[in-house]
Structure 1
Amino acid sequence: MDSECGSQRWAKLVATCLIGGVAVAVAVGVYLAAGGNVLSVMPLELLRRRKKNKKIRVYMDGCFDMMHYGHCNALRQARALGDQLVVGVVSDAEIIANKGPPVTPLHERMIMVNAVKWVDEVIPDAPYAITEDFMHKLFDEYNIDYIIHGDDPCVLPDGTDAYELAKKAGRYKQIKRTEGVSSTDIVGRMLLCTRDRSVSDNHNRSSLQRQFSHGHSHKFEDGGSGSATRVSHFLPTSRRIVQFSNGKGPGPDARIVYIDGAFDLFHAGHVEILRVARELGDFLLVGIHNDQTVSAKRGAHRPIMNLHERSLSVLACRYVDEVIIGAPWEISRDTITTFNISLVVHGTIAENNDFQKENGNPYSIPMSMGIFKVLESPLDITTTTIIKRIVSNNEAYQKRNEKKAATEKKYYEEKTFVSGD
């Protein structure tokens, strides 16, 4: 018993010294006391390399199409396994060959991945499968120590494992897939949305919004066919919000810039206007409207992503310092005073231009105070743009989702608990 306690104390001490956090040491101690292994928390090689002050470089690739908080959480987990995260973004041609047409082209996906705050370096046009040549390129040219992927299988068209070579080389590590979301889900929500509207534009029009917000779906549970979309099953927790948060507020003399919106289907247009807004101050505060407000202003079929999903996507952006979850539609003097806002901004490309209204203008107060500014949007993309891409190529995306649906269903039916995260 004394030996066991001694090893636990040693592990706690190592974690404290090498990671530099009392909270981490406590967490490791609790984990060990429950019968865990310190190597599960931090690999031995990682401990050795960090002790020698060598940077551990990890690699993760993906399509990152319709990028969402699940992608961001995977990148966060991958980054925690090393000191620097290099991300490969699969080319459009490779996605078409292996999965079907991407919704967002490579240059937009590159903007999205580069904006994730846990990403250090990005490789464009990465291959869908880790070939032997590319694996050695990662090891030799990019100095990659480990290749990372989620616990969900990545199977090539010929039935082989896309990461088989990395596993054989002993340079593969697995992370936990984020629950309740995938690009297949999101595309499925839009397909379901357009199908619902075509059947009856007036009948029970709020039903989809309620499904998206509360996680109801008749597809898997009732044996439905078609796209087999799993409408949001995301279970928000306070821990996840803390994981995504920067954890610090503005300084006493900080110039605080505020921008608000729905930020539904978080895309490259959102990222670029947030980047421009952040350049105007020291701290960027983003207000995210609740589901009911978005539905009232933009139609009962919106938002596609619910409030918590949208909040995590925005929080993962490196240009964002803090978010208001469920921000008011109208910006009051009290809100400006409470958050010490110096400047309120709005992009030229948006779902609405309410700032131009004479009556019912949500920005009338900051305008009267002389702290409102319209920013030229770098990209001509809105959430409606993304939805239209799906609608215009409905048949192709329907086939893509039907192909992926079987894999998604199998994963969830066979899903087991994965430690970590």
Structure 2
Amino acid sequence: MEYQANYSIWDGVYYHPHLFGGIMLTAALLGFSTSYFSGMASFPTLPYMLPYLGNLQKQKGSKKHIRVYMDGCFDLMHYGHANALRQAKALGDELVVGLVSDEEIINNKGPPVLSMEERLALVSGLKWVDEVIANAPYAITEEFMNRLFNEHKIDYIIHGDDPCLLPDGSDAYALAKKVGRYKQIKRTEGVSSTDIVGRILASMEDIEVNRERNGMKSNLDNHSQSKHASNFLPTSRRIVQFSNGKGPGPNARVVYIDGAFDLFHAGHVEILKSARQLGDFLLVGIYTDQTVSQHRGSHFPLMHLHERSLSVLACRYVDEVIIGAPWKITNDMITTFNISLVVHGTVSESDSSLNGFVDPYKVPKNMDIFKTIESPKNITTTSVAQRIKANYEIYEKRNAKKEASEKKFYEDRKYISGD
């Protein structure tokens, strides 16, 4: 096959130049004809060999540039997807991501929640992604694998430790495993697209129940006890892995933007990109769960504070986040973080002034460091949830099947060391 590596004695020459140089020199001293060696493995004669050996010695310290490939639908993208791509990038120097087409997803899984354009914005916006192949196939065929190895110069194909089976029950990565070009990472437990769809469906069911109870609102305890409540256990190590680990320079122009960033979507990526272009360092404030619930309703947020924080941290345009930022921006906060500009998008989940709340941007407005920027996309968490609501029966049926397979995965899983 074209993609199989051809190893020769030259590999030995590359890694052991002194040894081979010694053999050739000894042969010359003993009177052996170097033409004998040139007949073996296409060796050149000794005079031409010595300069080449010197060059090999110089190159010995250089490391081969590794390109790795990971594919997926990346629908309703979350921090689990981001962590998978982070792990994949750690196995190489460049990460190429294959984004499955809308048509392929429809044929194999049903309609995606997010369009190709939206999923492309999300994947491209991740700090670990170097290149994206749009409209990748759902199953890696031999033809597509050859394209990856030959055209895109991919060294390894990556996937998580959870089984990925095609409709016929076969392993989707069997071909890559067969030729020894497959590497595995650990799945991020506690979240999945299926889980998130389940949270949305459950919140819709709760809303309907509340309406039947004369419009009584459920409290936060009811929401947290949902069968689709988050199982994510945040650790400081995970936050460090997602963080840039660098603060702003002494003369940096720090731009601040805040929000819930619930159900992280393409609209979030684009507004963060626009905000970052206005300065040298982008600081993002992420509201607490209680603040989001107070302003948007008791069934929000769909993702809790630490999940939302990781999704924002994974974005390439973000330098730092405040985990649990206050609703109101104070003078002290502006001084503490040396904020030069506070920005807010034109598309928002709710308008605080219409709800009787104090304007959270009053202080930066009075200081003349507030700016409203045009939101590049008209997408909100609610509008994404409405797409699922519009196809309620389809997603409910699909989720029932997926939840069963995920339950089996968690029951059968064993501890696997990984980052």
TM bin, normalised by shorter chain, reads 0.7 to 0.9
Give the Cα separation in 1 of the matches to 2:349 and 2:138.
Answer: 34
Q: What secondary structure does 1:59 align onto? A: strand
Q: Which residue of 170, 182, 207 corresponds with 1:160?
A: 170
8 Å Cα contact 1:331/1:363 also seen in 2: yes
Q: Which residue of 410, 416, 420 corresponds with 2:418?
A: 420
> In the comparison of the two structures, how many residue pairs are matched?
358
> Does residue 206 of the first structure (1) align with residue 207 of the second (2)?
no
8 Å Cα contact 2:88/2:95 also seen in 1: yes
CA distances 1:297-341 after superposition (whole Å, capped 9, x unpaired)? 000000000000000000000000000000000000000000000
Q: Which amino acid aligns with 1:250?
A: P
Q: Larger C-alpha radius of gyration, 1 or 2?
A: 2
Name the CA shift for 1:299/1:204 in 2 (closer, same or farther; >3 Å).
closer
Give the Cα separation in 2 of the matches to 1:301 and 1:420.
Answer: 34
Deviation at 1:362, TM superposition (A): 0.5
CA distances 1:15-64 after superposition (whole Å, capped 9, x unpaired)? xxxxxxxxxxxxxxxxxxxxxxxxxxxxxxxxxx9953321000000000
Q: Which consecutive residues of structure 2, in runs of 5 or more, have no partner in the other structure? A: 1-58
8 Å Cα contact 1:209/1:300 also seen in 2: no
Q: Which amino acid aligns with 1:154?
A: C
Q: Which amino acid aligns with 1:166?
A: A
Q: What secondary structure does 2:327 align onto? A: coil
Name the CA shift for 1:55/1:276 in 2 (closer, same or farther; >3 Å).
same
Instruction: Look up the match of 1:79.
Output: 89
Instruction: Look up the match of 1:327.
Output: 325
> Does residue 172 of the first structure (1) align with residue 182 of the second (2)?
yes
Provide the TM-score with structure 1 as the length reference. 0.83
Give the Cα separation in 1 of the matches to 2:89 and 2:105.
Answer: 24
Give the Cα separation in 2 of the matches to 1:174 and 1:248.
Answer: 30
Aligned pairs for 1:12-161 (under 5 A) are 51-161=61-171
Q: Which consecutive residues of structure 1, in runs of 5 or more, have no partner in the other structure? A: 1-48, 219-229
Give the Cα separation in 2 of the matches to 1:79 and 1:356.
Answer: 45
CA distances 1:251-301 after superposition (whole Å, capped 9, x unpaired)? 000000000000000000000000000000000000000000000000000
CA distances 1:83-120 after superposition (whole Å, capped 9, x unpaired)? 00000000011111111111001110000000000000
Give the Cα separation in 2 of the matches to 1:217 and 1:298.
Answer: 18
Q: Which residue of 384, 394, 412 corresponds with 2:392?
A: 394
8 Å Cα contact 2:343/2:371 also seen in 1: yes
Instruction: Look up the match of 2:200.
Output: 190
Q: What secondary structure does 1:134 align onto? A: helix
Q: Which residue of 240, 250, 253 corresponds with 1:252?
A: 250
Provide the TM-score with structure 2 as the length reference. 0.83
Give the Cα separation in 2 of the matches to 1:406 and 1:50.
Answer: 51
Give the Cα separation in 1 of the matches to 2:61 and 2:382.
Answer: 50
CA distances 1:186-241 after superposition (whole Å, capped 9, x unpaired)? 00000001011112244561247742xxxx554xxxxxxxxxxx431000000000
Give the Cα separation in 2 of the matches to 1:283 and 1:193.
Answer: 36
Q: Which amino acid aligns with 2:112?
A: P
8 Å Cα contact 1:57/1:86 also seen in 2: yes
Identical positions, percent: 68
Q: What secondary structure does 1:93 align onto? A: helix
